[in-house]
Amino acid sequence: MAKKPIIGKLSGERILIFNNDGISRLNAKGYGELNDNFLSLSIIEGLYLLSKNWIKVKLNNKYLSFEELHDYAQNIDDKLCIKYLAYRDLRNRGYTVKTGLKYGSDYRVYSRENIDEVHSEYLVKVFSEDKPCAISELTGFVRVAHSVRKKLIIAIVDDDGDIVYYNMGYLRL
Amino acid sequence: MAKKPIIGKLSGERILIFNNDGISRLNAKGYGELNDNFLSLSIIEGLYLLSKNWIKVKLNNKYLSFEELHDYAQNIDDKLCIKYLAYRDLRNRGYTVKTGLKYGSDYRVYSRENIDEVHSEYLVKVFSEDKPCAISELTGFVRVAHSVRKKLIIAIVDDDGDIVYYNMGYLRL
Amino acid sequence: MAKKPIIGKLSGERILIFNNDGISRLNAKGYGELNDNFLSLSIIEGLYLLSKNWIKVKLNNKYLSFEELHDYAQNIDDKLCIKYLAYRDLRNRGYTVKTGLKYGSDYRVYSRENIDEVHSEYLVKVFSEDKPCAISELTGFVRVAHSVRKKLIIAIVDDDGDIVYYNMGYLRL
Amino acid sequence: MAKKPIIGKLSGERILIFNNDGISRLNAKGYGELNDNFLSLSIIEGLYLLSKNWIKVKLNNKYLSFEELHDYAQNIDDKLCIKYLAYRDLRNRGYTVKTGLKYGSDYRVYSRENIDEVHSEYLVKVFSEDKPCAISELTGFVRVAHSVRKKLIIAIVDDDGDIVYYNMGYLRL
């Protein structure tokens, strides 16, 4: 993908791609949601692709730097930083990563390129290691994942920005 | 064990049994630690055995009610209540339960009557569902259990006092 | 480093630096974690650098005072104050100080500038002298440090805010 | 020492031995304090020697069982149980153990039979692992031991009644 960056246009919480070649290149790698006339990326996808120099992001006829897009996203999602770090790590490991909102999680993850299959393999929720969390956030996550029969991943970002992955599940004694 | 209650004497954070018949009956069931001249129970063991009417607990020539012993223990350990609920539940399921302090956990658990085997099967840490917890408490617990090659149990006491058991572990992606 | 303060942006539990010159100056001194597009500082690093006037910290287009950042951090970590005092003292003595969370401690410490070496020299856990502590917190710390073959430091903050350092270890009798 | 038990008389907080042969046998092993006409044992020494069947303890012309002497001692010292467990363990390892009261500690310990030397090797303080302790109890102990130039031992009795020994000291950074 060492080609010329694809132009995306920032529109509210999405980044839209109208160029057909760009749409098919990004879609083939599992980025964005396909609409009739355009592909729409989440801002976290946009940050990742911008950091790789695969896209450029335009707002009001001006290209945004990584920092400007990050500032913009920060105002929308205050959990942005750790979510971005986890997204980047999972993508760098070769997984396809989509939003997990409809399952009350941060991401759903498909094993390498297998996104055509109906079901994601994992639901992912991201936590910061140095911030207290309600135990019920974890138990609720286990309950949801169990009820939709998906495996879950707890991604914990430590103070060094490293990410460690854990599973968790019910135990029958 | 529907015999006459065994007399235990409260001594600081331990309950001591001096009666030989009582010592052997309790020891056979995995309660207490055997010394040359006495068996010593932890206060949580004492609470459980008192609730079953297997022992009576004496302090200053007076027998303590369950409530009095619970108050006494509460002053020593403010996590007492949820730890007791988990202890009781595990014992009622037939497990032998010993302190897990030397592994940084609340309990180590042996499968039914199998305490003669050298190694406990599980390390248990007890949490209250509605209390925030430091994520590092969970990750530290996984690290310790992993390093001593034991399975771990996260016991979560919910608002109804019910206990749900979870496992947790590293995930290799 | 008597240059113009570097701008950092507060993002959840991290402070992000996007300026290239700032990134390299801070990174050279062992502050923060390097990502593709930015350097991310922990809030305690941020507090220290803010107190030295090396950085300024921005939230919603407003610069935070030391007090405002401290308040913000206090809400995330109620052990903040004594941890900050220990961090500052160790840094002022010339040590490089990073999070110790993955070893169940507060910090890991590298001797002066030696952070390129693979292994930290010490694990540090910070206590307040006038607050009761569970003995098992100390024994657990000794166990972990022993198992990863690192020296440990118990940093005790007294009522005057002074810090005294102790070692502790197993004794073979 | 598989001889006939020596008779001791319980007198307040001491157990007195008047028999000359008994005095010299016990004194040679480092038990008790020698007076003009008798040897006086602490109650913890008495419990230990009673458990070994080396002495019998008389009160009002009646011999006390181990349990009765333990009850008696419990009323005087509510830290009795863990102090006794530590005393027994140190003695069983071959150390000579004397009270450490004048150094604000529980015991002073002499290496095997070396009690003729002027200085004890260690000061010992006993803690229960499952009871919170004031950090200042530990730091005060380090300060005292340092000022009298003695090594210190922190003896921690866990919930299983096992004893683990730790050292602790100032660290110059």
Please write the tens of the pLDDT for every residue from B10-31. 998 899 999 999 999 999 999 9
Residue percentage of chain D with pLDDT more than 90: 74
Task: Read off φ and ψ for residue A53, nearest 5 degrees.
Answer: 70, 25
β partners of residue D146: none
Residue percentage of chain A with pLDDT more than 70: 94
β partners of residue D107: D99, D124
> Are C40 and A66 inside 8 Å of each other by CB?
no
Is 90 exceeded by the pLDDT of residue C12?
Answer: no
The pLDDT value recorded for residue C111 is: 82
Co-location of B158 and B88 in the same domain: yes
Contacts of A4 (CB under 8 A, 6+ apart): none
Report how far Cα C24 is from the mean position of its chain's Cα atoms: 19
Q: Determine which one of D84, D110, D122, D125 is catalytic.
A: D110
> Are C166 and D166 inside 8 Å of each other by CB?
no
- Which residues in A lie closer than 8 A to residue C40 (C-beta atoms)? 81, 161
pLDDT tens per residue, range B80-133:
999 999 999 999 999 999 988 878 889 999 986 555 555 678 999 999 987 888
pLDDT tens per residue, range C118-159:
567 899 999 998 788 888 889 889 988 888 889 999 999 988
Domain annotation covers residue B173: no
Task: Read off φ and ψ for residue A99, nearest 5 degrees.
Answer: -65, 145
A158 touches chain C (CB under 8 A): yes
pLDDT tens per residue, range B121-172:
899 999 998 788 888 889 889 988 888 889 999 999 988 889 999 999 999 8
Contacts of C80 (CB under 8 A, 6+ apart): C44, C70, C73, C74
Q: What is the mean pLDDT of chain D?
A: 90
> Are D156 and C135 inside 8 Å of each other by CB?
yes
In order of C24, D50, D81, D83, D161, the CA distances from D89 in angstroms are: 57, 15, 12, 10, 10
Co-location of B22 and B88 in the same domain: no
Give strand ranges (E) for chain D: 6-11, 14-17, 33-34, 39-42, 55-59, 62-63, 96-99, 107-110, 122-128, 132-134, 151-157, 163-170
Co-location of D84 and D160 in the same domain: yes
Which residues form the domain of B35? 6-74
Domain annotation covers residue C173: no
A71 touches chain C (CB under 8 A): yes
Co-location of C70 and C121 in the same domain: no
The pLDDT value recorded for residue B148 is: 84
Query: From the list B36, B37, B76, which residue is nearest D131 (CB)?
Result: B76
Q: Which of D40, D74, D108 is the last residue of a domain?
A: D74
Co-location of D47 and D88 in the same domain: no
Pairing relationship of beta strands C107-110 and C96-99 according to DSSP bridges:
antiparallel
Taking the alpha carbons at both ends of chain A, their separation in whole angstroms is: 51
Is 70 exceeded by the pLDDT of residue C41?
Answer: yes
The pLDDT value recorded for residue C78 is: 78
> Are D70 and B18 inside 8 Å of each other by CB?
yes
- Which residues in D lie closer than 8 A to residue B102 (C-beta atoms)? 158, 160, 162, 164
The pLDDT value recorded for residue B2 is: 61
Our answer on whether D and A touch (3+ beta-carbon pairs < 8 Å) is no
Domain annotation covers residue A163: yes
* SS3 state at B27: helix
Neighbours of A172 (CB within 10 A): 4
The pLDDT value recorded for residue A92 is: 93
Nearest alpha-carbon partner for C115 in C54, C26, C35:
C26
Which residues of chain B from 84 to 143 reach within 8 Å of chain C, CB to CB? 101-104, 136, 139-140, 143
Q: Which chain D residue's Cα is nearest to B44?
A: D159
The pLDDT value recorded for residue D131 is: 81
CATH classification at residue B122: 3.40.1350.10
CB neighbour class for B75 (10 Å; exposed up to 12, middle 13-18, buried from 19): exposed
Q: How far is B131 from chain D (nearest CA, A)?
A: 20
Co-location of A70 and A89 in the same domain: no
Contacts of C99 (CB under 8 A, 6+ apart): A130, A158, A159, A160, C42, C106, C107, C108
The pLDDT value recorded for residue D88 is: 95
Q: Which residues of D50-84 are buried (b: 16+ CB within 10 A; e: fewer)?
A: bbeebbebeeeeeebebbbbbbbbbeebebbbbbb
Residue with the bigger pLDDT between A17 and A114: it is A17
Co-location of A86 and A131 in the same domain: yes
Residue with the bigger pLDDT between B98 and D115: it is B98
**Helix, strand, coil % in chain D, rounded to nearest 5:** 35, 30, 30
The pLDDT value recorded for residue B81 is: 92
HSE value, Cβ hemisphere, 13 Å, CA-based, for A132: 13
> Are B129 and A142 inside 8 Å of each other by CB?
no
Six token digits for residue B94: 């037939």
Which of A131, A159, A163, A166 is the best residue to mutate to test the C interface, defined by the most C CB atoms within 10 Å of its own CB? A159
Residue with the two structure tokens 């949580």? B44
Domain annotation covers residue D125: yes
Co-location of B68 and B107 in the same domain: no
Residue with the two structure tokens 């405002």? C68
Residue with the two structure tokens 């002066």? C112
The pLDDT value recorded for residue B22 is: 96
> Are D70 and B38 inside 8 Å of each other by CB?
yes
Enter the pTM of the model: 0.84
| Dihedral sign of CA atoms A64, A69, A70, A72 in order | positive
| Active-site residue set of B | 110, 119, 150
Q: Which chain D residue's Cα is nearest to B34?
A: D161
- Which residues in C lie closer than 8 A to residue D135 (C-beta atoms)? 127-133, 156
B1 touches chain C (CB under 8 A): no
* SS3 state at B1: coil
Contacts of C131 (CB under 8 A, 6+ apart): D135
Q: Which of B20, B51, B74 is the last residue of a domain?
A: B74
In order of A39, B70, D67, the CA distances from A28 in angstroms are: 12, 64, 80
Place A134 in a pLDDT band, splitting at 50, 70 and 90. confident
The pLDDT value recorded for residue C117 is: 54
Mean pLDDT score, D116-139: 84
pLDDT tens per residue, range A64-104:
999 999 999 988 888 899 999 999 999 999 999 999 988 88
Co-location of D142 and D124 in the same domain: yes
Place D112 in a pLDDT band, splitting at 50, 70 and 90. low
Q: How far apart are CA A3 and CA A55, in angstroms?
A: 10
Query: From the list C102, C136, C147, which residue is nearest B101 (CB)?
Result: C136
What dihedral angle (degrees, nearest 10) is formed by the CA atoms of B5, B10, B16, B17? -20
Domain annotation covers residue C1: no
Catalytic residue at D150? Answer: yes
Is 90 exceeded by the pLDDT of residue A130?
Answer: no
pLDDT tens per residue, range D54-75:
999 999 999 999 999 999 998 8
| Active-site residue set of C | 110, 119, 150
Q: How far is D95 from chain C (nearest CA, A)?
A: 9
Is 70 exceeded by the pLDDT of residue D2?
Answer: no
The pLDDT value recorded for residue C112 is: 65
The pLDDT value recorded for residue D114 is: 57
CATH classification at residue C68: 3.40.1170.20
Query: From the list C132, C134, C167, which residue is nearest D171 (CB)?
Result: C167
Q: How far is A66 from chain C (nearest CA, A)?
A: 7
The pLDDT value recorded for residue C118 is: 57
Which of C9, C11, C44 is the best residue to mutate to test the A interface, defined by the most A CB atoms within 10 Å of its own CB? C11
Domain annotation covers residue A173: no
> Are C13 and A85 inside 8 Å of each other by CB?
no
ipTM attached to this prediction: 0.86
Largest CA distance in chain A: 61
Mean pLDDT score, C62-73: 95
Q: Which of A74, A101, A120 is the last residue of a domain?
A: A74
Q: Which chain A residue's Cα is nearest to B94?
A: A173
- Which residues in B lie closer than 8 A to residue A131 (C-beta atoms)? 135
Domain annotation covers residue A1: no
The pLDDT value recorded for residue A102 is: 86
The pLDDT value recorded for residue D117 is: 56
Co-location of B148 and B89 in the same domain: yes
Nearest alpha-carbon partner for A85 in A128, A21, A149, A54:
A128
Q: How far apart are CA D115 and CA D118, in angstroms?
A: 7
What dihedral angle (degrees, nearest 10) is formed by the CA atoms of B107, D92, C139, D103? 140
β partners of residue C142: none
Domain annotation covers residue C153: yes
pLDDT tens per residue, range A18-35:
999 999 999 999 999 999
Most confident of B101-105, D43-47, D93-97: D43-47
User: Can you give the length of chain A in residues?
Assistant: 173
Co-location of B50 and B119 in the same domain: no
Co-location of D160 and D131 in the same domain: yes
Is 90 exceeded by the pLDDT of residue B61?
Answer: no
The number of domains in chain D is 2
pLDDT tens per residue, range A24-66:
999 999 999 999 899 999 999 999 999 999 999 999 999 999 9
A53 touches chain C (CB under 8 A): no
> Are B104 and C140 inside 8 Å of each other by CB?
yes
> Are C153 and D134 inside 8 Å of each other by CB?
no
Q: How far apart are CA A110 and CA A121, in angstroms?
A: 5
